[in-house]
Amino acid sequence: MVKNKDEHDANRFYWSVIIIPACHVHWRGATNSDAFSHLTIELQDNEITNYKD
């Protein structure tokens, strides 16, 4: 029983190490893309405002 529990914990740890960083990188990448899009929109708005002046 103890050995099976240890194997289960080891597998759970293994998958958490593999999956969680992958999700974190994907989430961070999506955030960077959204931030870049938002930054691009802000720059475009500033250009329009400058042309109006």
Number of domains in the chain: 1
- Count Cβ atoms within 10 A of the Cβ of residue 23 and give its class: 0-12 exposed, 13-18 middle, 19 or more buried: exposed
Distance (Å, whole) CA 36 – CA 53: 26
Beta strands in 1-53 (DSSP E): none
How many helices and strands (H and E) does the chain possess? 1, 0
Which tens digit of pLDDT belongs to each residue from 1-46?
A: 556 787 778 777 777 666 666 555 555 555 666 666 666 667 667 6
Containing domain of residue 12, as a range?
1-52
pLDDT at 40: 66
Amino acid 4: pLDDT: 77
